[in-house]
Every structure is written in structure tokens, then in C-alpha cells.
């Protein structure tokens, strides 16, 4: 698919030679780090949100806006995560949100009404999930244990009036983080989610081997583009609901557009304008859009979405519809996470696991998590 898009670019811009470098995802970022450090970075490459600022602060990235890139046709705020100090160091390959993927058949079977996702709170999420667990057969649950979900944790902090990071520091407070850990501790203790060992196994399983993929979990929070991976083994359509809020007010959703990945251009490139032209083509040209469709998430360019709407598979069309329905209640994205933030998912995961097995409590988990994360940024 990407190769076809590069061929389309070459056809449109024969004056710009393109040599793709193919490889697997495993080890990709280590390879890029080595190439950048050695002065041999590709003209254009990909980074994720956890490493963008590190490369930008080291002067390794070109400002795409200086070389002709535009996001004028993009949804407002769709590329804020790619900007540092007003410079565009990354262009989002696709935008994504979190959703509660819900199995309607599970709800119908146990006789629980599907909630109104524009008004539900985390407490109501807990209550609905607990009712589902109580009414379902042994081995089935209302939801799964997701205290280690670093994406939704960030949104939950925004719902509480802060961000996890502010510039180069940790901004969330212990009381705010404790609310998150307390929610999942309560669901563990009352049997709403699976027992610890089963929860741990479920968290690392392939979609078809998860409780959700086997039809034994009614709800799961996940990146909206991954819902289709659970629909395949289920052979059924999942319903996408907004994540709950703290207040029940839809404007308190706290979500913002997250990048699936960033396209970047190397500052050391001797052809930054050409690299930027390629990035712009992949994201802003209908010819590329009709090839890539929603392969990298929802296209951030509204004109591209309109151009490919009739060609999208059903699952991708529902992903786009969900994203567009949430748009009026989205917040502005914070700046990219600071250097050292790449360790955040692992730290959160470790404290979530300790909480799951009763080795810590919500207050201690919150404080320990924040202290360790702060030390990583020092």
C-alpha cells in the first residue's frame, strides 16, 4: 500500500527521486536513532509521539512549515501534537481517539441497556460493567482491567483539569492519579473485571485470544482503529461509544486528536523541500488518499476524507464517523511529551500490575508512579 503511494508520488513528481527503505516495525526506532546519530538519517521517516520532542530538541528535525507543508485543510487541532514552540516537526499520518468498544449481543443476552455515552461517567461505567459481570455466565465480564492504558489515563487527567505533562515536567497530581487507580482497584476487588492472572494474560493476548475477541467481555476501551481487529474473530460488529467523563458533560470529554505516527523530515537532509513535498503528498493529495484510505488511522485532512468516503470499508467508515461525531467536544492537544517520557507506558504498566495483584493501593500507586516518572524526566 505504501509502495503504491510512493509510486503515485513519483508519477506526479518525476523530478524527485524516491528510494524507499523497507523493514519491520520491530527495531525500527532503534534503527532511526542509529541513523540520525551517525549522520545518515533518511530524508523522510516516521516517529511516534513519545520521541518527537527528543529529536526536535536535538535539532534533528526540519520544520516542515518552512519547506511548504500545510495543514490548512485539516481538522482544527489535528496536528498540534506535531508542533514544538510553534514549529511543525511532525505531520500526523492519521488521527485517532479512544473508544469504548461494546458488544451489543452481550448486552442483549444479559438484559442490560446500552448507556448514553454522551452523559455517562466513570462511576456509571463501573456500575454498568459490574451489572454485566453479575448477570453473565461464569468466565464472562462487563469489562477488562485497563489501569495500564496510557492513552486513556492521559485523557482522564485532562478531564480532571490537568495534563500528565506540562512542558518538561509532570503536571498531574497524586490526587488526580489516585482517582484513576482507585477506579480499577474497585473493579478488581468486586469482581467486575477478571481475576489478576487472567487479566494479566488478557492484556497481552492477540485480539482473537482476548476475552473481547471471544465474546466474553462486553466492553473494552481501545484506540478506535483497533476495533476491527476484535470484530474479525467475533464475526460481529462492535458499537463504538465515547469514553466516560468525570462530570457527565459531553464537553468534559478531555480527548484530543492523537497521532497514529508522525512523518518527519531530517534536518540534515540536503533536500528538505523534496522530503516535505513527499509528506505533503501522502497526507494532502487525493491520489495518495485513495490508496492509503484509513490504513494509518483517520485521515486528518477533511477534504481527503470526503474524497475517499465512498471507498472506505465499513469498519473504517464507522471509525471515521465516530471520530467526526466526537470532534465538537475535543480539546486542544498538549505539546509533545518531554524527553524521558518514552518510559511512561512501562512505568504506568508496572504500577497497574502491582495494583492488580494487591501489592499496592491506589494512593501509593499514584505517588510512586508520579515520583518515578518525574525522576525519568530529570
CATH label of the domain that carries residue 47 = 3.40.190.10
Helices 196-204 and 344-356 pack at an angle, to 10 degrees, of 150
Q: What is the DSSP letter of 315?
A: H
Say yes or no: 74 and 116 in one domain: no
| Same domain as 271, residue 177 | no
Burial of 31 (0-12, 13-18, 19+ CB in 10 A): middle
236: which residues sit within 8 A by CB, 6+ positions away?
Answer: 103, 105, 215
Same domain, 72 and 30: yes
The answer to whether residues 132 and 236 belong to one domain is: yes
pLDDT of residue 33: 86
Task: Mark whether 323 and 368 lie in a shared domain.
Answer: no
The pLDDT value recorded for residue 25 is 67
- What is the total residue count of the chain? 378
**Are residues 277 and 225 both part of a single domain?**
no
Say whether both 224 and 267 belong to one domain: no
Dump strand ranges (E) for 36-75.
Answer: 44-47
- pLDDT value of position 300: 96
Running along the chain, 378 residues long, what does each successive block of 10 average in pLDDT?
A: 87 90 75 87 92 93 96 93 94 96 98 97 98 97 98 97 94 98 98 97 95 98 94 95 96 95 95 96 96 92 95 93 96 92 95 98 98 93
For the chain, the domain total comes to 2
Residues 364 and 241 placed together within one structural domain of the fold: yes
Same domain, residue pair 221 and 353: yes
| Domain boundary pick from 291, 310, 329 | 329
Residue 210 shares a structural domain with residue 122 = yes
**Residue 150 and residue 43 share a domain:** no
Q: Specify whether 90 is located in the same domain as 105.
A: no
| Residues in Cβ contact with 143 at an 8 Å cutoff, skipping those fewer than 6 apart | 125, 129, 132, 187, 192, 193, 217, 218, 219, 220, 221
Q: Are 253 and 329 in contact (CB under 8 A)?
A: yes
Whole-model pTM: value is: 0.93
Distance separating alpha carbons of residues 5 and 2, to the nearest angstrom: 5
Domain of residue 91, residue span: 2-95+259-329
pLDDT for the residue 230: 95
Amino acid at each position: 500500500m505504501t509502495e503504491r503511494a510512493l509510486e503515485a508520488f513519483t508519477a506526479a513528481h518525476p523530478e524527485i527521486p524516491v528510494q524507499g527503505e523497507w523493514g519491520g516495525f520491530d527495531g525500527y526506532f532503534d534503527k532511526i536513532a542509529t541513523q540520525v546519530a551517525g549522520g545518515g538519517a533518511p530524508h523522510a521517516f516516521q516517529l511516534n509521539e513519545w520521541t518527537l520532542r527528543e529529536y526536535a530538541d536535538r535539532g534533528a528535525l526540519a520544520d516542515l512549515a518552512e519547506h511548504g507543508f500545510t495543514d490548512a485543510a485539516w481538522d482544527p487541532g489535528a496536528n498540534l501534537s506535531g508542533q514544538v514552540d510553534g514549529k511543525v516537526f511532525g505531520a500526523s499520518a492519521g488521527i485517532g481517539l479512544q473508544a469504548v468498544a461494546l458488544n451489543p449481543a452481550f448486552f442483549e443476552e444479559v438484559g442490560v441497556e446500552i448507556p448514553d455515552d454522551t452523559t455517562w461517567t466513570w462511576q456509571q461505567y463501573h456500575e454498568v460493567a459490574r451489572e454485566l459481570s453479575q448477570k453473565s455466565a461464569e468466565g464472562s465480564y462487563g469489562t477488562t482491567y485497563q489501569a495500564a492504558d496510557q492513552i486513556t489515563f492521559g485523557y482522564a487527567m485532562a478531564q480532571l483539569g490537568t495534563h500528565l505533562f506540562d512542558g518538561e515536567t509532570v503536571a498531574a497530581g497524586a490526587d488526580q492519579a489516585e482517582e484513576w487507580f482507585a477506579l480499577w482497584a474497585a473493579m478488581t476487588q468486586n469482581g467486575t473485571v477478571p481475576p489478576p492472572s487472567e487479566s494479566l494474560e488478557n492484556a497481552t493476548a492477540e485480539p482473537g485470544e482476548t476475552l473481547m475477541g471471544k465474546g466474553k467481555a462486553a466492553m473494552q476501551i481501545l484506540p478506535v482503529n483497533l476495533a476491527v481487529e476484535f470484530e474479525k474473530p467475533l464475526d460481529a460488529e462492535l458499537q463504538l461509544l465515547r469514553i466516560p467523563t468525570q462530570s457527565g458533560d459531553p464537553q468534559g470529554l478531555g480527548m484530543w486528536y492523537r497521532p497514529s505516527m508522525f512523518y518527519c523530515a531530517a534536518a540534515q537532509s540536503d533536500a528538505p523541500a523534496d522530503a516535505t513535498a513527499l509528506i505533503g503528498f501522502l497526507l494532502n493529495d487525493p491520489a495518495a488518499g485513495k490508496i492509503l484510505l484509513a490504513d494509518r488511522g483517520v485521515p486528518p485532512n477533511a477534504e481527503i476524507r470526503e474524497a475517499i468516503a465512498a471507498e472506505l470499508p465499513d469498519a473504517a467508515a464507522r471509525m471515521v464517523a465516530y471520530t467526526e461525531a466526537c470532534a465538537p467536544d475535543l480539546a486542544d492537544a498538549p505539546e509533545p511529551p518531554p524527553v524521558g517520557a518514552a518510559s511512561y507506558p512501562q512505568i504506568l504498566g508496572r504500577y497497574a500490575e502491582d495494583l492488580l495483584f494487591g501489592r499496592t493501593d491506589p494512593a501509593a500507586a499514584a505517588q510512586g508512579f508520579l515520583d518515578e516518572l518525574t525522576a525519568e524526566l530529570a
